[in-house]
A = this chain, B = another copy of it.
Amino acid sequence: MRRDSEFDPQDFLPYLLNQAAETLSLEFQRHYRGQYGMLRTEWRVLFHLGCYGEMTAKDICVRARLHKTKVSRAVAALQAKRLLTRRELERDRRHAVLQLTALGQRVFADLSRAAHAFDSKVRAAMTPDEAEILHRCLIRIAGFETAPRAG
């Protein structure tokens, strides 16, 4: 298994990023999957609804950068689990506003706590400076607006 190239997979950002992302995702998965039988997309939809409050499926698509079919199926699954409800708008019956049920909010609160704890644990492995720079770089790479919370 000799060394042929000067370029190492670990130096290739898409690869390294994927490995890091996969590592964390797999680890956190057990919270929403193990505890609540949720899929990643379902957790994301719940997460967004919990963080930003009620919105339409389209809003979630844009915010979470998910394809509408994925959102559609995740919403159906969350609805079947009684974690959210859909309320059609009279002024435009194409739209349906989604909101978490009381149960959904409890699940979100629980997972949100777990997420926070998990995040802290990961950050504990770096200095505050490193954490800040990492965050900044990832935001930039992901192409998120610099100040999305202002919108």
Q: Which residues of A contact B (CB under 8 A)?
A: 1-5, 7-25, 27-28, 44, 47-48, 50-55, 59, 64-65, 112, 115-116, 118-119, 122-123, 125-126, 129-131, 133-144, 148-149
Task: Choose from B2, B16, B55 the contact partner of A138 (Cβ within 8 Å).
Answer: B16
Interface contact A50-B4, CB-CB below 8 Å: yes
Instruction: Given the known inter-chain contacts A14-B25, A54-B1, please indicate yes or no for A47 contacting B9, CB distance below 8 A.
Output: yes
Chain B residues within an 8 Å CB radius of A137 = 126, 130-131, 133-134
12 residue pairs of the A-B complex, CB under 8 angstroms, read: A1-B54, A3-B51, A5-B50, A8-B51, A10-B139, A16-B135, A16-B142, A17-B20, A18-B21, A20-B142, A22-B65, A23-B143
Interface contact A142-B4, CB-CB below 8 Å: no
Chain B residues within an 8 Å CB radius of A149 = 8
Interface contact A21-B17, CB-CB below 8 Å: yes
Question: In this complex, which of A65, A122, A148 has the most chain B Cβ atoms within 10 angstroms of its Cβ?
Answer: A122
Chain B residues within an 8 Å CB radius of A141 = 20, 23-24, 122, 125
Instruction: Given the known inter-chain contacts A3-B53, A14-B28, please indicate yes or no for A130 contacting B139, CB distance below 8 A.
Output: no
Chain B residues within an 8 Å CB radius of A143 = 23
> Once bound together, how far apart are the Cα atoms of A50 and B148, in whole Å?
41
> Once bound together, how far apart are the Cα atoms of A34 and B151, in whole Å?
36
Interface contact B54-A7, CB-CB below 8 Å: no
Chain B residues within an 8 Å CB radius of A140 = 125-126
